[in-house]
Structure 1
């Protein structure tokens, strides 16, 4: 069974960690065309003693993106859904931690979500803020 500590160690060895607490990590991934994308992974324990990983990546400041277009774009994603948290438009995806038999099962939704968030950020803002 994969633990939160396993996820932290996996991320630390592969990505540039920008910020870290006991329950979340914020780090940067390189994307296409010399762009980068920030991503956060939160450890969310549940009442049954299991846990979840919430992966999120910013698309732009919510007041600077077309919400209708963001929802249309999010509807094309295989993983993730659109949300606004603290004024930031995000793509978010959640996976059960205990179901990750290998950390590569974390990597695939992570990279898919980040690629979509970066493409949406580029289309909706024409910037690379996140």
Structure 2
């Protein structure tokens, strides 16, 4: 069984951690074109008896996005769905923590989600704020 601590250690070894609490961490990944992308991972304990991880990466401030275009672009990504939380457009993906292969079931979706969010951010805003 994979633990939240194992996920934290996986992230710490690979990425620049910007913020961390007992239940979430925010870190930065490099993306193509000398861009970076911030991502947050939230530990969602014991929902229906199962622990989950929510991976999210910001695309832009919702007020500055063409939300229809955001939804259409998010629909083309391999991993994640579109959401607006606290005024920020996000790509989000959730995986169960129990029996998680950190490399395949966390690392791979993380990479795909971040690449998708960065492409959408670049296309919709032409900026690199997140």
Q: Which residue of 1 aligns with 2:22?
A: 22
Partner SS, residue 59 of structure 1: strand
Whole-Å Cα distance in 1 between the matches of residues 78 and 128 of structure 2?
Answer: 23
Per-residue deviation, residues 2-55 of structure 1 (Å, max 9, x unmatched):
100000001001000000000000000000000000000000012444200000
Per-residue deviation, residues 55-95 of structure 1 (Å, max 9, x unmatched):
00000000000000000001101210000000000000000
Q: Which residue of 1 aligns with 2:56?
A: 56
Cα RMSD for the two superposed structures: 0.9
Q: Which runs of 5+ in 2 are unaligned?
A: none
Per-residue deviation, residues 78-115 of structure 1 (Å, max 9, x unmatched):
21000000000000000000031x21021000000000
State the 1:122 CA deviation. Answer: 0.2
| Range that drifts further, 41-50 or 51-60 | 41-50
Whole-Å Cα distance in 2 between the matches of residues 113 and 122 of structure 1?
Answer: 14
| 4+ runs deviating over 3 angstroms | none
Q: Which runs of 5+ in 1 are unaligned?
A: none
Report the number of matched residues: 129
* TM-score relative to the length of structure 2: 0.96
Whole-Å Cα distance in 2 between the matches of residues 90 and 55 of structure 1?
Answer: 10
